[in-house]
Amino acid sequence: MTPDKSPSADPAQEKPSHSPTQAASADPSAPGPTTSRRGFLKAGGALSMSSLMGTAALMTQSDDAAAATEWAEHFQKNYRLMTDAEKAEARTRLERRYSSEYGKKVTVDTTGPQPGVLMGYALNIRKCIGCRRCVHACVEENNQSRGTRPGEKIEWIQVLRMERGEFAKDKMNQGYPEGLGIQVGGNAYTPAGQVLEGQYRYEPEAVPEKDATYMPIACMQCEKPPCVKVCPVRTTYREADGPVVIDYNWCIGCRMCMGACPYWARRINLTTPVLPKEEMNPVTHYLGNRPRMRGVVEKCHWCLQRSRQGRYPACVEVCPVGARKFGNLLDPESEVSKILERKNVFRLKAELNTFPKFFYFYD
């Protein structure tokens, strides 16, 4: 039998092995292994990522719309870094998924900011009657969670009820408690301007109430938004036409933006949002009212699905007394520009230098 002359058959010609076991039993004077632990982990990580990408690719071909979307969402970019082709792919994927989940044709608009537009909002504080129709219209338009258990109900707009009253000179010496030497102010217990706990959920028999004034608040769409500065994953940012938006897929639910917002404007989905199929608004925007997930933050965006199509936000449209105005701040002929020019205007917490584009005014 002819001996095998191949190089691998001659032990003297074999290449040194890099197996850790063999290296431990070799001559100490011989060169050690050249494969480091870092290199091993790197190779393993690359293999795992390749495997996951391959699995994701397979899953996106699945007939299960939800599964395909969820897998694909794990690997998609932050929305503002996507190419137009990637945005179109994400839009198609979501439309397919939402239409399957809610049993109706759902559209996901991706219309971006238009040149020469800077959205602005104005609210006549004297006209508001506290009916809260704006709150309900916002919930319906923007697919907000409407469950009944704790954490399930979300409302972006809050209408604060403040009791009317006055500071009287003759009460200055009526501090409480009397005789204990503790001065708390004689007018400390009068109702003027106080916002008592729970009064943003008031339910009066009729509005406006004779002894109340109302103060609607929502996201102020700041020019210098504190929420954007603190976001560790850059998932919230200001769009070129004004609104501050959130890429829900990149939100990690850390709530730092909620702590930084001085206007109590952001909400988090502590539970899986409750959105009945028959009540779901199928006209959505990717950065706006599309259905959210558990553990992400959301807020007002001035109804991007409407405002970028030339329509008013839902709260403006539904207000029965015309207290809410909306328009292009860069257009001197717009309604909101005329208000800023001619009315008594103020911004909430102006001393914080956040420069809101939400203005309050009175005649």
Residues 13-38 have a mean pLDDT of: 41
Which burial class, exposed, middle or buried, applies to 11 when counting CB atoms under 10 A from its CB (0-12, 13-18, 19+)?
A: exposed
**CB neighbour list of residue 210: distance below 8 Å, 6 or more residues apart:** none
Q: CB atoms < 10 A from the CB of 37, how many?
A: 8
Is a pLDDT exceeding 80 seen at residue 10? no
What is the residue type of 123? L
Dihedral sign for Cα 340, 346, 348, 350, please: positive
Is a pLDDT exceeding 80 seen at residue 68? no
Helix, coil or strand: residue 188 = coil
- Residues 224-241 as b/e (b if ≥16 CB within 10 A, e otherwise) read ebbbbeebeeebbbbbeb
Predicted confidence (pLDDT) per residue in 158-184, tens digit:
999 998 888 888 888 777 666 666 767
Predicted confidence (pLDDT) per residue in 216-250, tens digit:
999 999 999 999 999 999 999 999 999 999 999 99
**In the chain, where do the E strands start and end?**
107-109, 119-124, 158-163, 212-217, 236-238, 244-246, 267-268, 283-285, 297-298, 324-328, 344-346, 358-362
Give the residue range(s) of CATH 3.30.70.20 domains in the chain. Answer: 119-156+219-362
Scanning the structure block, which residue is given the tokens 């996507």? 82
Read off the pTM. Answer: 0.79
Of residues 237, 280, 199, the one with CA closest to residue 113:
237
Q: What is the C-alpha separation between 176 and 298, in angstroms, rounded?
A: 43
Upper half-sphere CA count for residue 248 (Cβ side, 13 Å)? 22
- Residues 81-114 as b/e (b if ≥16 CB within 10 A, e otherwise) read ebeeeebeebbebbbbbbbbbbeeebebbbeeee
Predicted confidence (pLDDT) per residue in 190-208, tens digit:
788 777 766 888 888 899 9
C-alpha distances out from residue 74 to 57, 67, 251, Å: 12, 11, 12
CATH pick for 119-156+219-362 out of 1.10.10.60, 1.10.357.10, 3.30.70.20, 3.30.43.10: 3.30.70.20
| Cis amide bond preceding 177, omega within 30 | yes
**CB neighbour list of residue 260: distance below 8 Å, 6 or more residues apart:** 226, 227, 229, 230
